[in-house]
């Protein structure tokens, strides 16, 4: 859910309509609405520069040139809850279960962490607003999951994310971008779920869109849930020995986030890579071509761990099926 009383707020300056996903369409309390101008995110929890623009002019500029985030005259962003159906979809798309540790950045009333705990997970929610942290703690106690979760007043940029298997977000677009380098350094396989906002150049592994009639912000009555799975580093040239089927194999992999491009050779011959997928630390390849005197379909599936891939190779020529262990090591 949206970070409440966020010091880390920004406007999305891409062309589009007025951004109402960070505020309610009507003020939630007394005070004037001003557009926010972003100056950067740092350990000082970012600085916000508030500039006055007449409301009519702001509407015109926003509708014709960029999407603008709004805040009250004291620099805060109103607390907007994540609808329950969105919470459910966020946890489902991340497949949250008893083995998970969920960290919600900007946890609001705690509903995401509490719902994760109901599914057996443990969790941490961080927020800058002490009152919301107090409310979240009380909500967890009422839900009977206080022993599985905790809530803390903390800057999200100073929160240790290393223990998380799942991280949930409902932040502002450029805050996501500032978090992205830290998220990419997490353990491969860590799942990141964001409500509405993407990560710019890092494409999501999955996106779902759902109608949210109870959503109090926005114009289209829709929510988008994005999932990223932190990819392992698969770049380089990998070598594998498969006795009895091509002998020495070589895979040359280039990578951009989770997208990989693979060249494969076996028995000194270049083969066709028809499919390649990297999902966390799991890599899958579909390779076709001649090995020996016959054409084969090859399905590689393995787990990356540093400079090693361990897995299995399945081959078929349409009549015969064979399986081999697959171990590849990084040569350069």
Residue 277, C-beta contacts closer than 8 angstroms, at least 6 positions apart: 260, 283, 284
Same domain? 225 vs 247: no
Which is it for strands 259-266 and 269-279: parallel, antiparallel or unpaired? antiparallel
Do 155 and 186 have their domain in common?
A: yes
Residue 65 in any domain: the answer is: no
Give pLDDT, residue 267. 85
Confirm whether 280 is domain-assigned.
yes
Strand (E) or helix (H) holding 238? strand 236-242
Claim to verify: residue 215 and residue 289 sit in the same structural domain: no
Residue with tokens 């400079």: 307
Q: Among 202, 229, 256, which residue terminates a domain?
A: 229
Contact assessment for residue 86 and residue 223, using Cβ atoms and an 8 Å cutoff: yes
Task: Give residue 292's pLDDT.
Answer: 87
Whether residue 193 sits in one domain with residue 255: no
Q: How many structural domains comprise the chain? A: 2
- Containing domain of residue 189, as a range? 84-229
Say yes or no: 190 and 258 in one domain: no
Across the beta sheet with 48-50, what order do the strands follow?
A: 48-50, 33-38, 70-72
What integer pLDDT is reported at residue 96 of this predicted model? 98
Contacts 24+ apart (CB under 8 A), 285-293: 285/251, 291/245, 291/246, 291/266, 291/267, 291/315, 292/245, 292/246, 292/267
Give every residue of the chain whose pLDDT is below 70, as ranges: 1-79, 218-219
* Residue that finishes a domain, picked among 198, 229, 260: 229
Residues 91 and 224 in one domain: yes
Instruction: For residue 245, give the CATH number of its domain.
Output: 2.40.128
The reply to whether 92 and 222 lie within a common domain is: yes
- Classified as helix, coil or strand, 209 is strand
End residue of a domain, out of 229, 259, 288: 229
């Amino acid at each position: 859910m949206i970070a409440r009383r966020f010091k880390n707020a920004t406007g999305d300056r891409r062309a589009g309509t007025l951004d109402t996903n960070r505020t309610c369409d009507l003020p939630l309390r007394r005070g004037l609405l001003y557009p926010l101008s972003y100056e950067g995110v740092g350990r000082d929890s970012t600085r916000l520069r508030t500039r006055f623009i007449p409301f009519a002019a702001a509407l015109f500029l926003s509708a014709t040139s960029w999407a603008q985030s709004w805040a009250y005259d004291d620099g805060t962003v109103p607390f907007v809850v994540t609808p329950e159906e969105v919470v459910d979809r966020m946890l489902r798309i991340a497949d949250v279960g008893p083995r998970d540790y969920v960290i919600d950045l900007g946890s609001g009333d705690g509903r995401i962490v509490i719902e994760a705990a109901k599914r057996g997970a443990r969790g941490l929610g961080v927020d800058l607003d002490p009152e919301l942290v107090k409310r979240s703690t009380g909500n967890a106690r009422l839900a009977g999951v206080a022993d599985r979760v905790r809530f803390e007043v903390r800057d999200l940029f100073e929160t240790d994310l290393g223990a998380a298997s799942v991280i949930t977000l409902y932040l502002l677009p450029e805050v996501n971008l500032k978090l992205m380098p830290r998220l990419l350094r997490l353990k491969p396989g860590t799942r990141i779920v964001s409500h509405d906002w993407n990560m710019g150049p890092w494409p999501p592994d999955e996106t779902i869109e759902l109608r949210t009639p109870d959503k109090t912000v926005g114009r289209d009555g829709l929510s988008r849930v994005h999932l990223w799975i932190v990819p392992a580093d698969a770049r380089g040239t990998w070598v594998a020995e498969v006795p009895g089927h091509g002998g020495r194999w070589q895979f040359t992999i280039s990578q951009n986030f989770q997208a990989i491009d693979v060249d494969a050779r076996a028995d000194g011959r270049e083969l066709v890579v028809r499919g390649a997928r990297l999902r966390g630390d799991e890599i899958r390849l579909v390779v076709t071509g001649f090995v020996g005197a016959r054409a084969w379909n090859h399905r590689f599936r393995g787990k990356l761990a540093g400079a090693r891939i361990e897995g299995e190779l399945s081959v078929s020529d349409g009549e015969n099926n064979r399986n081999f262990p697959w171990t590849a090591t990084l040569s350069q």
